Amino acid sequence: MANVVLDKVSKRFGSVAAVDEISLDMADGEFVVLIGPSGCGKSTTLRMVAGLEPVSGGQILFDGQVVNNLPPKHRDIAMVFQSYALYPHMTVAQNMAFGLKLKGYPKEEIRQRVDKAAGLLNIRELLGRKPRELSGGQRQRVAMGRAIVRDPKAFLFDEPLSNLDANLRAQMRVEIKRLHQQLETTVVYVTHDQIEAMTLADRIVLMKNGKIVQVGPPMEVYDNPVNKFSATFIGAPKMNFIPGRLVRDGADGLAIEIEGGRLAVAESRRATYEPMLDQPVEIGLRPEYLAVGKADRPGTAEFEAVIDVVEPMGSEALAFFRLGDVELAAKCDPHNSPRHGERVSFRADMTKMHLIDPRDESVVQVAR
Ligand SMILES: Nc1ncnc2c1ncn2[C@@H]1O[C@H](COP(=O)(O)OP(=O)(O)O)[C@@H](O)[C@H]1O
Ligand SMILES: [Mg+2]
């Protein structure tokens, strides 16, 4: 197990800065998820940690030792990719044992390690099969088994679940999390799937254009995005963005004027938002804080709109509606949802809103 540090690590491909001075301190045993849109530099970062790609600048340290010039095989890490790359002519057991055999481990130790990993992954009954006799999920497990038997300092995963169907992905997510709880090995996991990031990570590292946008535990990033990009990328269904203007409300209050209403700013937020008075702003509000119904307590505000589409999902329903030219989603009771075309009241929990400055799309940070 290892503590992995990136210190101003960069990677340039010609004139492209694929990774741009990234600094990150990953604790021993931590599960860190690198997430961001395609092309933001996740895989390149992972490949530099693995030693598959030399850095253009900065340092990578394992347990305090600079590993910049250490070849991959001496870094003692295991990588699991989206493509499993199993040897087709070898059995599962042989595939899992292959790396250890190359390194000259004694037969009995190899047998024990393969057996233990197979037990952890629940694939003991598959050990005699060839890869072509396995399902996608089983192959993915074997690929992980091959990594586990090496007992590496860290696991590096690059979109390991992307080839699986939705059900299997959900199942494997839970298995990977359970495995990490048992093995307690440092994991750096790359994905573009925000659900994987939310569910698996101790800490999320959100990237864009080769840079880190935000780092934090999943619920902290979810609750306190630093900007509109972070607010949009993390969370499903997506956060609502309502354009408006911050105006005076009564003697010392504030409100946000939007199409179809005027939403009083919660008292606890007034001082923080005051400097934005009379400016165009955007409200960021997750669908769970926007409900069909009347304002029912201090801190909630109300407006009206016409229901466009309702999506019942069993445990909840989402009501879609438009304000001007933006489409918004609110939660509603799946057993008692409004109908298409109905004009209804919506209640916004203004204590959960984010105030976005449209000039740079930053979220005005509220003291916590
Ligand atoms: N071998 C390479 N040669 C040139 N450009 C590359 C190479 N690998 C990646 N890139 C570029 O670097 C950027 C980051 O790529 P990558 O790390 O693969 O992104 P991600 O994994 O987040 O989708 C992209 O613009 C990509 O086109
Ligand atoms: Mg990638």
Residue 325 belongs to domain with CATH number: 2.40.50.140
Is residue 224 located within the same domain as residue 258? no
Cα 111 from chain centre: 36
Q: Please indicate, yes or no, if residue 187 is contained in any of the structural domains.
A: yes
Among 233, 268, 299, the domain boundary falls at 233
Task: For residue 214, report the distance from its CA to the centre of ligand 2, in Å.
Answer: 19
Is residue 92 located within the same domain as residue 107? yes
Is residue 228 located within the same domain as residue 246? no
Is residue 184 located within the same domain as residue 327? no
Protein residue whose Cα sits closest to atom 6 of ligand 1: 13
Is residue 224 located within the same domain as residue 320? no
Residue 236 has pLDDT above 80, yes or no: yes
Q: Please indicate, yes or no, if residue 94 is contained in any of the structural domains.
A: yes
Residue 71 confidence (pLDDT): 95
Element (H, E) at 216: strand 211-216
| Dist CA 18 CA 211 (whole Å) | 9
Task: For residue 39, report the distance from its CA to the centre of ligand 1, in Å.
Answer: 6
Protein residues placing their CB within 5 Å of the ion ligand 2: 43
Residue 368 has pLDDT above 80, yes or no: no
Domain that holds residue 163: 4-233
Q: Please indicate, yes or no, if residue 78 is contained in any of the structural domains.
A: yes
90-107: string of b/e by CB count within 10 Å (b at 16+)? Answer: ebbbbbbbbbbeeeebee
Among 233, 255, 277, the domain boundary falls at 233
Residue 85 has pLDDT above 90, yes or no: no
Mutate to test the pocket of ligand 1, among 6, 9, 11, 13 (most ligand atoms within 8 A of CB): 13
Is residue 169 located within the same domain as residue 263? no
Q: How many domains does the chain have?
A: 2
Is residue 130 located within the same domain as residue 162? yes
What mean pLDDT is reported for the chain?
Answer: 95
Is residue 146 located within the same domain as residue 262? no
Is residue 286 located within the same domain as residue 139? no
Is residue 111 located within the same domain as residue 256? no
- The tens digit of pLDDT for each residue in 162-220 reads 888 888 899 889 989 999 999 999 999 999 999 999 999 999 999 999 999 999 999 99
pTM of the model: 0.94
Is residue 218 located within the same domain as residue 272? no
Decide which of 271 and 1 is more confident: 271
- The tens digit of pLDDT for each residue in 217-233 reads 999 999 999 999 999 99
Is residue 251 located within the same domain as residue 164? no
Q: Please indicate, yes or no, if residue 368 is contained in any of the structural domains.
A: no
Beta-bridged to residue 4, according to DSSP, are 26, 62
| Nearest ligand to the CA atom of 211 | 1
Residue 67 has pLDDT above 80, yes or no: yes
Q: Which residues contact 350 (CB under 8 A, 6 or more apart)?
A: 263, 264, 265, 266, 269, 299, 300, 301
| Nearest ligand to the CA atom of 82 | 2
Nearest to 290 by CA among 255, 320, 268, 315: 320
- The tens digit of pLDDT for each residue in 93-143 reads 999 999 999 999 999 999 999 999 999 898 999 999 999 999 988 998 999
Nearest to 22 by CA among 52, 58, 66: 58
Task: For residue 194, report the distance from its CA to the centre of ligand 1, in Å.
Answer: 20
CB 157 within 8 A of CB 189: yes
Residue 362 confidence (pLDDT): 98
Residue 243 confidence (pLDDT): 95
- The tens digit of pLDDT for each residue in 289-334 reads 999 999 888 899 999 999 999 999 999 999 999 998 899 999 999 9
Among 233, 260, 284, the domain boundary falls at 233
| Dist CA 335 CA 331 (whole Å) | 12
| Dist CA 349 CA 300 (whole Å) | 5
pLDDT band at 261 (very low <50, low <70, confident <90, very high): confident
Q: Please indicate, yes or no, if residue 128 is contained in any of the structural domains.
A: yes
Element (H, E) at 111: helix 107-121
Residue 164 confidence (pLDDT): 85
Q: What is the secondary structure of 226-262 as a DSSP string?
A: SBHHHHHHSSSSPPEEEEEEEEEETTTEEEEEETTEE
Residue 136 confidence (pLDDT): 87
Residue 1 has pLDDT above 80, yes or no: no
Ligand 1 touching residue 18 (CB < 6 A): yes
10 Å Cβ neighbour count for 368? 6
